Amino acid sequence: MTWELVLVMAAITYASRAAAMLLLPPLPERVRGVLDRMPPALFAGLAAQAVVVPGEGLGDSAMIAGAIGALLVTPRRSLLACLIAGVVAYAGWRLLFPSP
Amino acid sequence: MGAYDAALLEEPVELRSTLISAAPLAIAIGVFGVIFGAAASATLDPLMTIGMSALVFSGSLQFALLGLVTSGAGPIALLATAIALNARHVVLGAVLRPRFKGSFLTRALQSAVLLDESFGLAVVSGQRAPTVLVTSGVLFYIAWIAGTVLGVLGASVGGLEGLAAALFPVLFIGLAGVTSRGRDTAIRAAIAAASVIVVSILVPGAYTFMPIVAAIVVALPGGRTK
């Protein structure tokens, strides 16, 4: 690893973050409709990605317990409630089933 | 203003509650910063480790680069990994763009702290998205740098790694719940999540792209917006 490579990585990362924010022209209504529908699916996908081990299956059982705890309170539409429920479920699982 | 924006304005998320939500994530990011700093110190010199966190500011990419460098991968593999892992930022930016009305320079600065977590908090904040993105993004940046420095200095996070890792899916589930506007979007979200799990298990190489691909695919068919 060299400093030049670090700078290239930083440039690629920043460019990816700034590209749409700086260069995206006004979008047709239909495209905006698709973008508007994306966030819940994107977040659900990111959550799923966090609990899965590629090529193997679901990951840590306590993490999955935390995810289920959060899922159960999603009808409340409160981020804080989800965080609390997730942490409580995670800790409860760890308490009931300690890691070897 | 789209229907989605209007729906969000009807149920505004207070900045204070957003920051309260951001705080545990900042701690989790700090924990991973410690882990990165400690792991990278074995391969890179301390200045480069901290410099990488300060300049790149992408946990997933930095951990991937560290693994590749340790295994002797060449520059092409490193570049390909950087492009693959960063591709999702373009979509995140496209979703946020209509909410950002500032000048080119302002948006250029705001973009620097666009990451999954700050995007999530921003997208549920309606008209306050730029403020929430920058506030939470700067908080996460500070946490990432502080964690890296502590890791380089030899700090240990003990058993916190598991809890920190568990916070990310919990956050994303919460964000999915807050942004869902009824049965239609909830079903799309469930399909996206199931697709990510199934495809990631069956085709491990698709793991990195799957959340974005699944979100685009399920969002394409038209439907009710309310």
Per-residue pLDDT of chain B (226 residues; tens, 9 = 90+): 444 444 444 444 566 767 777 888 899 899 889 999 998 988 889 999 999 999 999 998 999 898 888 888 888 888 988 998 898 899 899 999 988 989 999 999 999 999 988 998 898 887 889 999 999 999 999 999 999 999 999 877 777 778 888 888 998 899 899 888 888 999 999 999 999 999 999 999 888 889 989 999 999 987 654 4
Do B110 and B198 have their domain in common? no
The ipTM estimated for the assembled molecules is: 0.89
Q: Which two tokens stand for residue B209?
A: 């792209």
Residue A18 and residue B108: Cβ atoms within 8 Å? yes
pTM: 0.81
Task: Give, as one character, the DSSP assignment of residue B74.
Answer: -
Do B174 and B185 have their domain in common? no
Do B144 and B189 have their domain in common? no
Q: How many domains does chain B have?
A: 2
Do B16 and B37 have their domain in common? yes
Q: In whole angstroms, give the CA distance from residue A86 to residue A15.
A: 34
| Last residue in a domain, options B179, B202, B217 | B179
- Give A53's strand partners: A57
Residue B111 and residue A17: Cβ atoms within 8 Å? yes
Do B128 and B168 have their domain in common? yes
Residue position matching structure tokens 């496209």:
B94
Question: Once rounded to an integer, what is the mean pLDDT over residues A47-53?
Answer: 93
Question: Once rounded to an integer, what is the mean pLDDT over residues A21-43?
Answer: 88
Please, which pLDDT band fits residue A35 given cuts at 50, 70 and 90?
confident
Do B175 and B196 have their domain in common? no
Do B140 and B199 have their domain in common? no
Do B196 and B129 have their domain in common? no
Do B112 and B193 have their domain in common? no
pLDDT attached to residue B223: 62
Task: Tell me the nearest-neighbour CA distance from A96 into chain B, angstroms.
Answer: 15
- Give A52's strand partners: A58
- Nearest Cβ partner of B225 from A33, A79, A82? A33
Question: Can you give the residue range of the structural domain that contains B204?
Answer: 181-226
Q: In whole angstroms, give the CA distance from residue A9 to residue B27.
A: 25
Contacts with A55 from chain B: Cβ below 8 Å: 200-201, 204, 207
Do B174 and B196 have their domain in common? no
Do B67 and B115 have their domain in common? yes
Do B81 and B125 have their domain in common? yes
